[in-house]
Every structure is written in C-alpha cells, then in structure tokens.
Structure 1
Amino acid sequence: MNVHSHDHGDGHHTHDLSEGEVRARALESLLREKGVLQGPIIDEIIDMYTNDIGPMNGAKAVAKAWVDPEYKQRLLANATEAVRELGFSGMEGENLRAVENTDKQHHVIVCTLCSCYPWPVLGLPPRWYKDTPYRSRVVREPRKVLAEFGTTIGDEVDVKVLDSNVEVRYFVLPKRPAGSEGLSEDELAKLVTRDSMVGVTVLAPVSKAAA
C-alpha cells in the first residue's frame, strides 16, 4: 500500500493511542460540545504545530550544527542537552538522540509500536508517521517507502531504520545542501524541513539565485 495513498482519517482504535492522545481527544470532544471550539480551528492549530512552529526548533539545532563543529559534536553526543542549550526541552524530549546522514549512511526514523516522536524539536507527528502503512513498511522496504516520498538513495549508501520508543526518540541531522556555503545560520535554518529530520526526504541543493 502506498504511504501517501493511505486513508489518513481518524480511524485509530483507542488501544492504539497513548494516554496523552486519549486525554487530548476527550478534552477536544468536551470543548466542541460546549461550543468553545468552533469549526476547523483546532485542526488549524494542530497543522501549525505539526508543520511550522514545532519543526523550527529542530531546524535551528541542525543549522547550528552545520556551522559550529563543537556544537555538532555535542548534539551527536547528547542531543537532549544540546537542544536544551537553545531553549528547547519538555515532554517527549527527555532522551533525544541525533543521528547524522552522510555520503555513506542515510537514517530514517519510525516508531513501530505507536507514534513516539521528538516533540521538542519536531513538534507534533504528522499523521502518516502514526499510520500503520508507514510504521510497518519502512522497516521492511525502506528504499521503496522513501521513493514514495520522492527520495532516491543510491545503492552505495546504507539505509538504516531507527525505531523510536519510550526510552529514546531519534531525529536526523540531514546533510547540508550543496550551494549553501555562503548562507547565515538563520538562512540555513529556513532550508531545513521536518521530513528531512525524520529522514524521509533529503534537502535539495541551493540554487545560486537563492544563495
């Protein structure tokens, strides 16, 4: 089943949800019933934290690692403490581990049991990350799943799938894109995407016009 063609509806069984997700859904239902939440507002808020606000934290850590070799060493040695230096910490981030993508190895992250995810650096997990097709298939056929995201990894590169869990949550330090050498740290952070920090995509080279 194609990851992106899967029905992304909310048909999760309750036993597939974490305690926090169950409580959040109960609270959402109550607020909607009382009229506090109107229309699609909660979906808009969730989308904002999933795609914009949350991943910005990780992007800042990645950009700093690209320009500061000492920070990069600290990030790879103890990501929890390294991102705390930037002011990011909290729930789901007690034991972060950063892994580096290189010319020889490409990492991709999954949680095969539920949806463990590094919230302090990536925000809320996207729906496809929580859905069964991605969770089951990326372990068995990672290159095929990556291709469905538009990512082709050469045969000379080893693809390693890392399984996040309650004890450790991974995120990827993607390869710095070619052509970005003259960019500032803030400009570099704008290039980093959530999906590149999950490992399902790679960052495109920077055109001379954009640099």
Structure 2
Amino acid sequence: MDDKSGHSHSELSDVALRVRALETLLVDKGYVDPAALDAIVESYETRIGPRNGARVVARAWTDPKFRERLLANATSAIAEFGFGGRQGEHMAALENTRRRHNLVVCTLCSCYPWPVLGLPPVWYKSPAYRSRAVLDPRAVLAEFGLNLAADTEIRVWDSTAELRYIVVPMRPEYTDGFDEEQLAALVTRDSMIGVGLALSPTNGSPKS
C-alpha cells in the first residue's frame, strides 16, 4: 500500500481535481447550494473529524470511570462530548492492550464513524484493504509500518451500517502528567482504526 493508502500523491491529486470539477458542475447546474456545500466542508474540517475521537481517547486514558462507560456503551459515552448522529448512531469501543490489538475494516463498503473520525481515508475504502485486512491482518499492519509481537493477538472487526467502531490505542509511555489536550495530540486517526499506534511524546515531560 503506497503511502499507507495504495495510492500515490499524484493519484490523490487527480481525485481531488475530479471532485472539485464535480462540485463546480453541480453548483453551476443549481443542484447544490454553494453556501450549504461550504457549510458541510467547514463542519467536517473544524467540528467533525479525528480530533473528536482523539478527545474521547484522551478522556478514556485519564478517567477510569469514563473508560468503563466507553467500553460498556460507546454511543452513550461519546454523546457526553456532544458527538453523535449520522454514521455514528451505534458505536462500540475496542481497547488495545499488549496482548490484543484490534483492527477495524468494512468488508462490504466503507462504513465508518464520521462523528469521531471524520470522512474515511481512501485506503479504507479500497478493495485491497477490505479483503486483505481480514485474510492477513498482520501483513497489512506491517505495510503500515506496524510490526506487532508474534504473541499479540490481532482481532479484526467488521464495521457495518448497524455498528461502527473506534479503537482505543494504548497510552504511550512517558506521558505521566500530560493533560487531556496534550494526550489528544498524540492520538492519530490511524491509531483509532487500528493500523497504527498513538504517537510517542518527544520527551518524558509534558509539552509546554
């Protein structure tokens, strides 16, 4: 998977150009209100996306009671942040440990928890990822640069329209004393899908 997506930068640029052309055509023909389109884009850029999921994970790392609620009823716990709605009506949280690693895929199409992770990356929707994540998850993770210990169990979860998942990655070492904002900065989109780990801090002390 080139660039963790199976697509080169030039291909992604071509896709972006085609999307822009389609948007222009729809606006010119009056099918789409430009203001409504801008509002949707702004919403996903500033209010919906991986930063929301990162806040949820950071809270789970620092608040044991919230962690329990999240693992027991993710939909309800996530709603405490005001996150929910379309594509996030029914959520489940999967906690990674040193003995078990969780990986999320949608084998049917591209079911994905928009309220906490935003729009799915291109590679998540690709046939290669959707099939190989199930057949050989360890090899797929290795292609993302994630080489797990041989004794770490990998569990693959199939996201559906009825139930979507968020992975709670392991908290990085040397983050004692970090507040939720600092911890959230270490949580990546890939770590909440399961193809990566949370980032390690640059040093053993909280960032200023």
* 2:83 paired residue number: 88
Output the CA distance in 2 between the equivalents of 1:29 and 1:117: 27
Partners of 2:131 and 2:166 in 1: CA distance: 19
Q: Cα distance, 1:33 vs. partner?
A: 4.9
TM-score computed with the length of structure 2 as normaliser: 0.81
SS in 1 for 2:141: helix
For the structure 1 residues 53 and 168, does the alpha-carbon distance in structure 2 shift closer, same or farther, using more than 3 Å as the test?
closer
RMSD: 2.9
Q: TM-score, normalised by structure 1?
A: 0.80
Q: CA deviation at 1:85?
A: 0.5
User: CA shift at 1:169, angstroms?
Assistant: 0.3
5+ long unaligned stretches in structure 2? 16-20
Aligned length: 192
Deviations 1:64-114 (A, max 9, x none): 000000000000001100010011111011110000000110001000000
- The 8 Å contact of residues 186 and 200 in structure 2, kept in 1 or not, is answered as no
The alpha carbon displacement at 1:210 in A equals: 6.0
Are residues 1:145 and 2:140 paired? yes
* Alpha-carbon distance, 1:5 to partner: 3.6
Is the Cα–Cα contact under 8 Å of residues 179 and 207 in structure 1 kept in the other structure?
Answer: no
1:74 matched to 2:66: no
| Equivalent residues of 1:51, 1:194 under 8 A apart | no
Q: Percent identity?
A: 48
Aligned residue for 1:162, secondary structure, equals strand
Deviation sequence 1:17-44 (CA, Å, 0-9, x none): xxxxxxxx9877412556976xxx98xx
Deviation of the 1:167 alpha carbon? 1.2
Contact 1:195 1:201 in 2 (8 A): yes
Moved over 3 A (4+): 1-11, 25-29, 32-37, 48-53
Contact preservation (8 Å) 2:177, 2:205: no
Shift of 1:208: 2.0
